[in-house]
Amino acid sequence: MNGKVWLVGAGPGDPSLITVKGLHCIRHADVLVYDRLVCKELLAEVPAGCEMINVGKTPNNHPIPQDEINQILVAQALMGRNVVRLKGGDPYVFGRGGEEVETLAQSGIPFEVIPGITSAIGGLAYAGIPVTHRDHASSFHVITGHLQQGKDPQDWPTLAKLQGTLVILMGMSQIETICQQLIEHGKAASTPAAAVMCASHQVQKIAQGTLATLPQDVLREGIKSPALIVIGNVVQLQKLLQFTPTVMQLDEMIDLSTLAEAF
């Protein structure tokens, strides 16, 4: 009999932000397929004998091609195993989760998707930035800073006109272009802006300034990938709304035995 693939969102970093259902899946996995944004505390939750497959980077530091990852999931499920595909944040937010599940669906492999807290919202919250606020932003836009090769460049005139909070993922290598293009196409250079590195991890770090100063602020504070770039008036609330999160151990969290029948 075929196994099943559970596509699980790990949340932004703090391991206790995973869902109850996601943690239960990890604790019952026969094989765990994971990549680099997943924290080690969650990896430690697998049962004894669970096979661990790291598809983040090959030993010579090249990413494993997406087709190959898709085929690993299919092959493992065809062996009758409970496969957990664990991804940082939410699996459908720039995580290529859609591509993986497409392959499973086309191959007739049973699957389930367990959403996670995306860094684009939850990561900002941990940094003291509410993605919307009645006084500051009535919409938000989550944008990738990294485009697939051969695709059109960003539509800067449209992005610059948006009034809501802009959250840019995978944008650190392009931060100067991003800030400069938004200003050139009409966004005020004085718009508050920040970059949050390793949001919700214990090493979380923030650089703050304006659209005009952010590239230098980031350099000064030593902010590197993985980081979120956030542009909009909600950034002004950061100093007031920042907090120190309680550290929770996963086994203190909850008795998961009630979910056991699902497996």
Least distance from C-beta 94 to ligand SAH, angstroms? 4
Contact 36, 42 (CB under 8 A): no
* Catalytic (active site) residue 57: yes
CB of 50 or CB of 93, closer to ligand SAH: 93
Least distance from C-beta 93 to ligand SAH, angstroms? 4
> What's the rounded Cα separation, in Å, for the pair 52 and 198?
24
Helices and strands in the chain: count of H runs, count of E runs: 9, 10
State which H helix or E strand residue 101 sits in: helix 97-106
CB of 132 or CB of 174, closer to ligand SAH: 174
Least distance from C-beta 196 to ligand SAH, angstroms? 6
**Amino acid letter, 100:** E
CB of 250 or CB of 259, closer to ligand SAH: 250
3-class SS at 161? Answer: helix
Q: What crossing angle do the helices spanning 175-184 and 214-221 adopt, rounded to 10°?
A: 160
Q: Which stretches of the chain bind ligand SAH, using CB under 6 A?
A: 12-13, 37, 87-90, 93-95, 118-120, 123, 169-170, 196, 198-201, 225-228
Least distance from C-beta 242 to ligand SAH, angstroms? 15
> What's the rounded Cα separation, in Å, for the pair 256 and 108?
29
> What's the rounded Cα separation, in Å, for the pair 72 and 213?
44
State which H helix or E strand residue 66 sits in: helix 66-78
Q: Which of 30, 35, 90, 217 is catalytic?
A: 35
Q: Which of 57, 67, 155, 239 is catalytic?
A: 57
CB of 76 or CB of 200, closer to ligand SAH: 200
First to last CA, the chain: 14
Least distance from C-beta 49 to ligand SAH, angstroms? 28
Least distance from C-beta 113 to ligand SAH, angstroms? 12
CA 38: distance to chain centroid?
9
CB of 30 or CB of 90, closer to ligand SAH: 90
> What's the rounded Cα separation, in Å, for the pair 128 and 169?
18
**Neighbour tally for 40: CB within 10 Å:** 7
Closest listed residue to residue 27, CA positions, set 12, 13, 11, 8 = 8
CB of 209 or CB of 226, closer to ligand SAH: 226
Contact 25, 44 (CB under 8 A): no
Catalytic residues: 35, 57
